[in-house]
Amino acid sequence: MIIIPAIDLYQKKVVRLTKGNKSDCKVYGRDPVSFAKKWQQKGAGWIHLVDLSAAFSEGDNKDIIANIISELSIPVEVGGGIRSLDRVRELLAIGVERLIIGTKAVDPGFLKKALKIGGSKIAVAVDESEGRLAIKGWQKNTDLPIMQYLKYLKDQGVSWVIYTDISRDGTLEGFNLSRIKELSEASQFNLIFSGGVSSLEDIKKLKKIAPQAAGVIVGKALYEQNFSLEQAIACQ
So where are the chain's domains? 2-233
Task: Give the three-class secondary structure for 76.
Answer: strand
Residue 42 banded pLDDT, cuts 50, 70, 90: very high
Looking at residues 125-154, what average pLDDT do you find? 84
Give the HSE-up count for residue 141: Cα atoms under 13 Å, Cβ half-sphere: 12
Q: What is the pLDDT of residues 159-191, one digit of tens each?
A: 999 998 887 666 677 788 888 888 888 778 999
Pairing type for strands 13-18 and 21-29 reads antiparallel
Residue of 121 and 137 predicted with greater confidence? 121
Options 3.40.50.720, 3.50.50.60, 3.20.20.70, 1.10.630.10; CATH of 2-233: 3.20.20.70
Residue of 177 and 27 predicted with greater confidence? 27
Q: Is 60 a catalytic site residue?
A: no
Q: Is 8 a catalytic site residue?
A: yes
Report the C-alpha dihedral over residues 89, 159, 126, 109, rounded to 10 degrees. 50
* Catalytic one of 51, 60, 127, 165: 127
Sign of the torsion formed by the C-alpha atoms of 15, 16, 20 and 23 = negative
Predicted pLDDT of residue 170? 64
